[in-house]
Structure 1
């Protein structure tokens, strides 16, 4: 069973496809029964949307944004020095 390093849970992929923008996605169900979506974008970024309303986006080039279930946001950028 695959393991989600972000949530720490094992999961099964129940469906996958490509959306209108050409980005691939899959629907995941964790070992605890939580549902989430994972998108792999054509530009190298990726995005998680979890059943508790939390979201995580990584641009693939050093920027990330985590939105917690309570709405708080944490953003990170790569050091460009």
Structure 2
């Protein structure tokens, strides 16, 4: 029923595990959805093909439409602006 925002809702709800999901249709063949889990993690799939996942405990992964992945780990109090692998 909501027009003007570029998408329509395909469906949303909560599954048997208590996880919430929401799916949207952008009308031009691209769809998007997200879900949030009871453990605090959540996942977004965007209409441009990118995805984003957050574990709920600080680490997250973003994948661009071209397929490049960028991960950040939230363990510790570092700035998190570098690449992983320098753990001494």
Which TM-score band applies after superposition, normalised by the shorter structure? 0.5 to 0.7
More strand by share: 1
Provide the aligned C-alpha RMSD in A: 2.7
Distance 1:55 1:20, change over 3 A: farther
> Which residue among 36, 40, 60 is the counterpart of 1:40?
36
Structure 1 runs of 4+ off > 6 angstroms?
Answer: 9-12
Residue 67 (structure 1) aligned with residue 71 (structure 2):
no
Question: What is the Cα deviation at residue 48 of structure 1?
Answer: 0.2
For structure 1, the 5+ residue unaligned runs are: 1-8
> Which residue among 12, 23, 29 is the counterpart of 1:16?
12
Residue 52 (structure 1) aligned with residue 34 (structure 2):
no
Question: What is the Cα deviation at residue 25 of structure 1?
Answer: 0.2
> Which secondary structure state, in structure 2, belongs to the residue aligned with residue 26 of structure 1?
strand
Number of residue pairs matched? Answer: 72
For structure 2, the 5+ residue unaligned runs are: 78-88
Bigger CA radius of gyration:
2
Question: What is the Cα deviation at residue 29 of structure 1?
Answer: 5.4
